[in-house]
Amino acid sequence: MKAIIDMAENHSNPNLEMKLLDANKKEVSRSLILGVIGTHIEFTLHIRATDPIYPLTLSCTTYTDETNPIDLKNY
């Protein structure tokens, strides 16, 4: 699955965590980008599960400290 993330705010090199979840909220793919420099990111998530239950949801979290997320979005 190709994903494109455009971040609205420019924080000081945040980390970006993406999780691809199936309809049962089971994780089928995950990616972590440390110290994001730009606000436009394109990447591919490879589905690891066999026969995931659709529809899929992309959960994206930005943070500088794991205990204090800057933002969380679900698509």
Query: What confidence tens digit (pLDDT) does each residue in 6-35 have?
Result: 887 767 788 999 999 999 999 999 999 998
H or E segment to which residue 71 belongs? strand 68-74
**Domains, the chain, ranges and CATH?**
2-74 (2.60.40)
Whether pTM exceeds 0.95: no
* Nearest residue to 30 (alpha-carbon basis) of 11, 15, 40, 44: 44
Q: Where does the pLDDT of residue 38 fall: very low under 50, low under 70, confident under 90, or very high at 90 and above?
A: confident
Instruction: Indicate the burial class of 45 (C-beta count within 10 angstroms; 0-12, 13-18, 19 or more).
Output: middle
Spatial CB neighbours of 52, under 8 Å, sequence gap ≥ 6: 22, 26, 28
CB 37 within 8 A of CB 13: yes
